[in-house]
Amino acid sequence: MSLNRKLKIGLEIHTQLKTTAKLFSLSPNSTSNLSTKPNSTTSFFDVSLPGTQPKLNKEALLLALKVAVALNCNVASVSSFDRKHYFYGDQPLGYQITQHYKPIAKDGYFKLSKRYDNIPEDKTIRIEQLQIEQDTGRSLYRSNHSNIDFNRSNIPLIELVTKPDFTSTLEVKQFIKKFQTTLQLFDICTGELETGTIRVDVNVSVDDHPRVEVKNVPTTSGIANALKYEYSRQSKILDDLSESDLKNLSVETRGWDGKTTYKLRSKESSVDYRYVPDMELPLIKLNVDEIIPRIKDSLPPTVDQRLEELIGGYGLKLRDALVLLNDGDMLQYYKELVESCRSHGLKLNPINWLVHEMAGALTKSGMTFTSQLLTIDSFVQLLAVIENGKITIGNGKLLLLHLINNKEDQVKSIESLISEFELGKNNDGIDIDSIVTKVLEENGKVVDQIVKKGKKGKLNYLIGLCMRVSEGSVDAGVFEKKLKEILEL
């Protein structure tokens, strides 16, 4: 089987908008909150009672325009709603109100780069169109029947369709991540795939043969796996087909069960949606030249702008910058910490201590980060004694763990804590000579191997033993120096 075939991928992404009310009614939008009692946030229109009519929620329109701006799209001065017909138990109107003929925005792009997105080459993904539409209810399948929860019915969605510009799974993953982060930063969507606030369909074509659509893959890793599976499945089919058979290939829709894709329908059984302009919803008319600049001004910095501040401005690695970007609280804490370190004349960048050591200590304690856990002042004092070599890194970590778990000690000075717990480095009460002598006496064999057979690597073993006896209160370098001195190495 040849895996050198050309891969082309396009995405269709459905995003629930974080509005207060639903798209065409006043019932609350419970978006990702799956614990809401079924059928409790439904209005008469949401279950399509006879005699009800839709009324466009302007908040949904505003959020849709923010998405359009984030994706650099051309916003239409006139757009309109259409009906897409199909029967399904969780589709209460018998049609979905969507935008088929005149969508809200078209022809945008979203950039992925080496610097911010960890991909080998810079890449621009073109956006074909954006449309506002209604979500459907949720079918809950039971053994011999299904229940329907209409809470999701009529929640506003944005459907985004990309051009088939992706050529690798990595690009797809990074695009989805960046899009999610953008939605969260702009407060457009909660941005989770797991709860279905973002749903992704992927279109895969191998060597420009008719595309295969894989619908509703629930996680980013699932998407990557489904893509890999489809690539090898389609490649294998192409390997086995003759020239004449290749002409008979046609568009197909498939599902994903977590391991493999399976056929849902082919071109022959595709649905004629009978699109028709909705006859009661008014056209959306926008003064684009006036509104779009105002929306642009209202938006906070983009993902790339924020990453540049952290990478270029604070000298962080992309990996660490992403950790901060995804936790606004930690980001703010970091900036204050840096500021305070500078004013105390410290040279070290506290990023490692924050995103690695502190995160490690939190995991050990079964806690998650909040800016209230450790005062900036306490943290800076700790970093100062470490930078000045007053305590070892190991003891610094111990003290950090202690401070997080004993908030009352954060008011004490670090110096007093060091002496209270005897964490000071190489100080009174510890006799380096006698520790080293004792270890050498007890390990004659090892000493022989080092001195007589030249196995210098064994020295580390002796250093480790010395450290153990001193309970880590002395730097390893001190013992190394002493051992070398005695053994004349």
Partner 1 sequence: MSSKISLNQLKAINSKYNIFTSIRNPQAITKVESGSLSNTTFSIKDNFTTTTEPTTCSSKILNNYISPFDSTVAKLLQQNGSIMIGKTNMDEFGMGNSTLNSFYGPTLNPLYEQSDNLVKEYEEIKSWTSSSNGINTSISTTPLTASSPNEHIKEQTYIKPILNNDYKVHDGMRIVGGSSGGSAASVCAGLVDFSIGSDTGGSIRLPSAYTSTFGFKPSYGRVSRWGLVSYAQSLDTVGVIAKDLDTVGKVFQVLDMEDKNDPTALKEGLRSRDDKLTSGAGETIKIGIPSEFNLDDLSPVVKQAWLKLLTSLNDSKLVDIYPVSIPTIKSSLPTYYTLVSSEAASNLSRYDGIRYGFRSDEFTGNEPEFEKTRSEGFGEEVKRRIILGNFSLSSYGYDSNFMKASHLRGQLIDEFNSVFYDRNLLSTNTYEAKGVDFIIVPTAADLPSLLKDFVDIEPTKSYLNDVLTIPSSLAGLPTLNIPYGGKSIGFQIMGQYGSDYKVLKFAEKVMEVVKS
* Choice from 122, 264, 266, 275 touching partner 1 (CB under 8 A): 275
**Least CB distance from residue 22 to partner 1, whole Å?**
11
Closest CA to 30 of 22, 89, 134: 22
Q: Which is nearer to partner 1, 94 or 293 (CB)?
A: 94
| Residue at 275: amino acid letter | Y
Burial (Cβ within 10 Å: 0-12, 13-18, ≥19) of residue 55: middle
Contact 106, 165 (CB under 8 A): no
Q: Which is nearer to partner 1, 91 or 261 (CB)?
A: 91
* Choice from 143, 279, 343, 488 touching partner 1 (CB under 8 A): 279
* Choice from 60, 64, 68, 93 touching partner 1 (CB under 8 A): 93
78 binds partner 1 (CB under 8 A): no
* Choice from 140, 276, 283, 489 touching partner 1 (CB under 8 A): 276
Cα angle 289, 293, 299; round to 5: 150
**Least CB distance from residue 8 to partner 1, whole Å?**
26
* Choice from 240, 243, 257, 272 touching partner 1 (CB under 8 A): 272
**Least CB distance from residue 91 to partner 1, whole Å?**
9
**Least CB distance from residue 266 to partner 1, whole Å?**
17
List, as one string, the DSSP characters of 409-469. GGGS-HHHHHHHTT--SS-TT--HHHHHHHHHHHTHHHHHHHHTT--GGGHHHHHHHHHHH
DSSP state of 41: S
280 binds partner 1 (CB under 8 A): yes
Share in percent of the chain as helix, strand, coil (round to 5): 40, 20, 40
Contact 350, 383 (CB under 8 A): yes
Which of 193-201, 267-275, 300-308, 359-367 is the region at the interface with partner 1 (rule: CB under 8 A)? 267-275
Contact 82, 100 (CB under 8 A): yes
Which of 93-101, 217-225, 240-248, 256-264 is the region at the interface with partner 1 (rule: CB under 8 A)? 93-101
Which of 38-46, 104-112, 244-252, 327-335 is the region at the interface with partner 1 (rule: CB under 8 A)? 38-46
**Least CB distance from residue 55 to partner 1, whole Å?**
6
Sort strands 261-266 and 252-256 into parallel, antiparallel or unpaired: antiparallel
**Least CB distance from residue 251 to partner 1, whole Å?**
15
Distance CA 403, CA 409 (A): 6
40 binds partner 1 (CB under 8 A): yes
Contact pattern for partner 1 over residues 140 through 159, marking x by CB under 8 A: --------x-----------
Q: Which is nearer to partner 1, 281 or 446 (CB)?
A: 281
134 binds partner 1 (CB under 8 A): no
80 is written with which tokens?
Answer: 């309109």
- How far, in whole angstroms, is CA 31 from its chain's centroid? 19
- Tokens 């995003």 identify what position? 15
Count of alpha carbons within 13 Å of 208, Cβ hemisphere only?
Answer: 0
Which of 40-48, 296-304, 306-314, 448-456 is the region at the interface with partner 1 (rule: CB under 8 A)? 40-48
* Choice from 8, 12, 34, 52 touching partner 1 (CB under 8 A): 52
Distance CA 193, CA 413 (A): 45
Q: Which is nearer to partner 1, 49 or 486 (CB)?
A: 49
**Least CB distance from residue 358 to partner 1, whole Å?**
46
Q: Which residues bind partner 1 (CB under 8 A)?
A: 26-27, 40, 42-44, 47-56, 83, 85, 87, 89, 92-95, 148, 272, 274-276, 279-282
